[in-house]
Amino acid sequence: MQKNAIVRNINSTDSKKRNVILVELIAFTECAHCHESCSKKGHILSAVNPHGFEIKNGSLVIITTSKIQEALESIIALLFPIGMAVTGFFLSNPIYNFFKNIKKSGISNAACPEGIKSLIVILFFALAAFIVLIATRAKKLLVYPEITDVLEQAG
């Protein structure tokens, strides 16, 4: 991801007391000087300045995230639900027998019917998809985006 952003606060700290810079995503560089509220302005997020650029509040910068991080997040978002569905497939017999044994006294080791097995697989897949959805919509990132260039200094 490479996006334009306006620096909003250079003296901010995150929950772990690390120095971060609050930036607001913008769609176009012209948005930096616009004071109207529109849908082209994005949300405010935290970024780091590993290159030590001289920036001030109001500076126009470019932020990027690591390509490796993006690829890793994409792979996890694809493989985690599939892995959970496979887990649901293998756990369907124990889950079925657990609930069957609660209903009746005694222990049985009956095979899970295909319909119930399919339902358990779908439930595990849906749970994993919901977890991925919540994780990707969270405001906190595991690794902060980096400021890679300063387009315009604030006056």
What CATH number corresponds to the domain at position 31? 2.40.50
Same domain, 48 and 77: no
Same domain, 62 and 72: no
What string of pLDDT tens digits covers the 155 residues of the chain? Answer: 777 787 887 777 666 656 677 787 776 655 555 556 555 566 777 888 888 888 888 888 888 887 887 888 889 889 999 999 999 999 999 999 888 887 776 667 788 899 999 999 999 999 999 999 888 776 565 677 888 888 877 76
Same domain, 103 and 144: no
pLDDT of residue 79: 95
Same domain, 47 and 96: no
Contacts of 19 (CB under 8 A, 6+ apart): 11, 12, 13, 48
Same domain, 21 and 73: no
Token pair listed for 26: 């913008």
Strands, E assignment, the chain: 2-13, 19-26, 41-47, 60-64, 146-152
pLDDT of residue 41: 60
Number of domains in the chain: 2
pLDDT of residue 24: 77
Same domain, 51 and 107: no
Q: Which domain holds residue 29?
A: 2-66+140-152
pTM: 0.62
Same domain, 36 and 18: yes
